[in-house]
Structure 1
Amino acid sequence: MPSPSRLNVLVFPCGSENALEIHQALTYSIHVNLFGASSIDDHGRHLFANYCGDLPKIDAPDFDSVFSSLLQTWRIDLVFATHDSVQEYLGQRTATLGFTLVNSDPLTTRIARRKSLTYAQLADQSWTPAIYSGLEQVDRWPVVIKPDQGQGGQGFCVARNAFEAEAALLAVSEPLLVEYLPGEEITVDCFTDYQRELIWIGPRTRERTRAGISMRCHFLKVDPKINAIATCINERLVMRGPWFFQLKKDRDGQWKLLEISCRVAGTMVAQRARGINLPLMTIHDHLQRKVSPLPQSNVRLIERRILTVIELDYTFDTIYIDLDETVIMDGKAIPATLHFLYRMHARGKRLVLITRHDVDPAQALMAACISPQLFETVIHIVDGVKKSAFIKDKDNAIFIDNHFPERLDVANTCGIPVFDVDALELFN
């Protein structure tokens, strides 16, 4: 049950990569009750214990009333928007719907959503890229065509001549014709506090990306140029909380602005990995507490991967699990198995150890620093009886064993799902 002494924090939509980062950043905070909502049934339901997956989309006529009702039902104190269009939409409605949004300034959310407005707001800066109103203005090829409201590289096209540019302009929605930037690209994560002080600037490389999300990055020093850009953006736009901008080097090796976003980035986990928990800083800043970054300078590289989870169309209350090479190996605990067992135990599942171990299983568990009390029952088989003979509750149990013949027998005899150790990480 949510604690009444904590802030009720809603993440919407809650199935994206940056929603996952907010969840991971706040899930163990003693200050927060987490809630997740989406307009489509997505990965968020595997993350958030408090979840709503059937909100209307923001362009639906009943979105405002349904969203307002959800805020009241859950008594939400603070909302994180995780998509730029949602950020802009909610930013225009905080007053009428009566809620608090992270980075809620209506004008800022509108400017940040459109590159044309962003570049116009910063047109007097040398680091703002050249924008062409038509092909006749292009003085150097290639050029870039990209959507005014795009994100994650969607709709991006490099045109080497006027013919290619004409085709791209017709294919891209609300196209912008922009200076081509061939050099290195970086993301700069920032944090502005409730007094509008810019207290964190964290540049990171974008060395390998997938669907616009950086999967590998190194941290860079904040040089005077990057610091000046961040400071200028913070002065021109009203930020509060985490935000980021992206830079790319031009033909002369000078940084130019790509875009600004006033939300948590998909790879802001990189900052948390070195001690800067930006979503948690947001919570304290919301309470008007002065926050101070404490970076760990020895963290240099971030590598990410895709997370996979499974969902069973089968309800189980009991887990039968083998010991040797399943819970322990070479006398030591298998970390992935322990992670699984403790998660299941916390959810009230009944854990039953079933083993042919040659000595007392309790001794083997304690030698591996595992409490035998983790298991409700320990079945120690000392003869050749098959494990399937000891599985009684065949309508609501699963069986885990590294040995295929044991799994095959239980599957055929008991008709319950069986898994090897490698599958345990897939359980949410």
Structure 2
Amino acid sequence: MDKNILVFPCGSEIGLEINNALKFAKGINLIGGSSIADHGKYVYKNYIENIPNIDDPGFIDAINKVIEEEKIDFIFPAHDSVVLKLSQHQEEVKAVVLTSDQYTSEICRSKKKTYELFDGETFNPHMYSHVNEVDQYPVFLKPNVGQGSKGVALANSKEEAEYYLDKNSDLLILEYLPGKEYTIDCFTDRHGTLRFSGMRERRRIKTGISVNSQTIPMEDSVKKIAEKINETLNLRGMWFFQVKEDAHGNYKLLEIAPRIAGTMNLFRNKGINFPLLTVFDRLGYDVEIIENDYAVEVDRAFTNRFNLDLEFERVYIDFDDTVTLGDKVNPYVMMFIYQCLAKDIELILITKHVHEIRDTLRKLKIDENIFKEIVHIKKEDFKHIYFNHDKKSIFIDDSYQERKQIHDEFGLPVFDLDAIESLIDWRY
């Protein structure tokens, strides 16, 4: 297959999910693109910075230059505004944009157009055309164009509503929906058939992003909403919509988006890889979908990724309480060890292990050939005696005294287990 796919902007939550979904996919080469320095540079092996903002007059020419230089086949837009921009200029863009058509993208980008399109449907929230029409408070105010929770407000009186509307006349006045909020992740194939829809509860939300979510069984009434949306718009590939319960427990539409959602990772971990399905569909494949029968919960927190101003060709590493964790193998350290092997970095195991080290390695299913050299020394020996200086090296050991001795003797960078995370390269 061998397809080059540009993800732009790659550092958004959407772009990071696309990376997680496709980074190991056979025949797919991901290129992350960004207008500014962002988290994408820490996870995309191939990364391009300083692509102009979509509002720049030269954006289309610039993106086409990237397409030509990197031989891009597909573009995954990873922001609502980028979805709209690229869908509007698909004929000018020299790669296939993986989203729905211009009409659908324009409807979805405007909450007002979305609600007007589904006017009369029982799942459509009531939208007031003017504050004087409001017959019941509170009401919910949100921008016609926007994402997340930016610019939204809850007005408990006419005075409060007028205050917010004076600050932003673009706000829509909507019925207040006090119930739980849900996202429905969907996939529509090139024939227009809704092949999958899955429901997840947005349990905890921070800055508009669902930071705790869980898959739940699909409600029949919500399934019908998905089918109605699918037959009304020209959706293709991955898309999602959000609903919220009104005061009577009825599901009302919040928004629709013809793109990947960051929390689609829930269904990816049930076997439904939306980005990959979308790519296969564009290649003309008739896909089959298998959903594993279990619930999945995801919880998000800030994740650390590091960039050290450090190069090394050799790692000296301790064994007890470093490669091992209790009487087991430390899987996090082993991940770093295999990363070193992939990068042709030498590994020297240096240990005061009380048993025959090769026997212990065999018991733990660790191949001794992982290490270029195994240095088994006595308890009273000094490790620094066995260090060579012909290559740039680092030292990893859980013992402060061992680290201090090596650092004082050679000035080498030394690491305890808590700092190994800074040595992990997440770019695939």
User: Shorter-chain TM-score category?
Assistant: over 0.9
- Across the two proteins, how many residue pairs are aligned to each other? 424
Deviation at 1:107, TM superposition (A): 1.2
Matched ranges for 1:5-44 at <5 A: 5-44=1-40
Q: Hey, what's the Cα distance between the residues in 2 that align with 1:312 and 1:234?
A: 47
Contact 1:331 1:364 in 2 (8 A): no
User: Is the counterpart of residue 333 in structure 1 residue 302 in structure 2?
Assistant: no
The aligned residue for residue 192 of structure 2 is 196
* Deviation sequence 1:78-119 (CA, Å, 0-9, x none): 111110001101111111122211114011111111111111
The aligned residue for residue 207 of structure 2 is 211
Q: Summarize the Cα distance change of 1:357–1:249 in structure 2 as closer, same or farther, 3 Å threshold.
A: same
- Counterpart residue identity of residue 43, structure 1: H
* Deviation sequence 1:365-416 (CA, Å, 0-9, x none): 2211111111222222226343234333487322211111112222333223
Q: Hey, what's the Cα distance between the residues in 1 that align with 2:138 and 2:28?
A: 49
Deviation at 1:198, TM superposition (A): 0.4
The aligned residue for residue 286 of structure 2 is 290
Moved more, 264-273 or 345-354: 345-354
The aligned residue for residue 70 of structure 2 is 74
Which of these residues, 251, 271, 276, is aligned with residue 275 of structure 1?
Answer: 271
The aligned residue for residue 308 of structure 2 is 312
Moved more, 352-361 or 107-116: 352-361
- Counterpart residue identity of residue 4, structure 2: N
- Counterpart residue identity of residue 322, structure 2: T
Q: RMSD between aligned alpha carbons?
A: 1.8
The aligned residue for residue 96 of structure 2 is 100
Q: Summarize the Cα distance change of 1:156–1:388 in structure 2 as closer, same or farther, 3 Å threshold.
A: farther
The aligned residue for residue 187 of structure 1 is 183
- Counterpart residue identity of residue 264, structure 1: I
Whose relative contact order is higher, 1 or 2, with alpha carbons under 8 Å and at least 6 apart? Answer: 2
Deviation at 1:29, TM superposition (A): 1.2
* Deviation sequence 1:329-371 (CA, Å, 0-9, x none): 3442111111121122212222221211123332222211111
The aligned residue for residue 346 of structure 1 is 342
Contact 1:187 1:206 in 2 (8 A): yes
Q: Hey, what's the Cα distance between the residues in 1 that align with 2:369 and 2:50?
A: 41
- Counterpart residue identity of residue 350, structure 2: I
Q: Hey, what's the Cα distance between the residues in 1 that align with 2:364 and 2:46?
A: 36
Deviation at 1:264, TM superposition (A): 0.5
The aligned residue for residue 322 of structure 1 is 318
Which of these residues, 244, 250, 256, is aligned with residue 252 of structure 2?
Answer: 256
- Counterpart residue identity of residue 410, structure 2: C
Q: Hey, what's the Cα distance between the residues in 1 that align with 2:169 and 2:49?
A: 29
- Counterpart residue identity of residue 267, structure 1: T
- Counterpart residue identity of residue 222, structure 1: M
Deviation at 1:56, TM superposition (A): 1.2
Deviation at 1:152, TM superposition (A): 1.3
* Unaligned residue ranges in structure 1 (runs of 5+): none
Deviation at 1:137, TM superposition (A): 0.9
* Deviation sequence 1:146-186 (CA, Å, 0-9, x none): 11111111111101011211222233473111111111100
Q: TM-score, normalised by structure 1?
A: 0.94
Q: Summarize the Cα distance change of 1:63–1:412 in structure 2 as closer, same or farther, 3 Å threshold.
A: farther
* Unaligned residue ranges in structure 2 (runs of 5+): none
The aligned residue for residue 161 of structure 1 is 157
Q: Give 3-state SS (helix, strand or coil) of 1:61's partner.
A: coil
Deviation at 1:197, TM superposition (A): 0.5
- Counterpart residue identity of residue 227, structure 2: T
Moved more, 386-395 or 200-209: 386-395
Q: Give 3-state SS (helix, strand or coil) of 1:33's partner.
A: strand
Matched ranges for 1:108-147 at <5 A: 108-147=104-143
Which of these residues, 37, 43, 47, is aligned with residue 47 of structure 1?
Answer: 43
* Deviation sequence 1:271-301 (CA, Å, 0-9, x none): 0111111111112111111112211112343
Contact 1:157 1:168 in 2 (8 A): yes
Percent identity over paired residues: 38
The aligned residue for residue 230 of structure 1 is 226
Q: Give 3-state SS (helix, strand or coil) of 1:228's partner.
A: helix
Contact 1:78 1:99 in 2 (8 A): yes
Q: Give 3-state SS (helix, strand or coil) of 1:25's partner.
A: helix
Q: Summarize the Cα distance change of 1:289–1:344 in structure 2 as closer, same or farther, 3 Å threshold.
A: same
Contact 1:127 1:256 in 2 (8 A): yes
Q: Hey, what's the Cα distance between the residues in 2 that align with 1:225 and 1:383?
A: 70
Q: Summarize the Cα distance change of 1:136–1:345 in structure 2 as closer, same or farther, 3 Å threshold.
A: same
Q: TM-score, normalised by structure 2?
A: 0.94
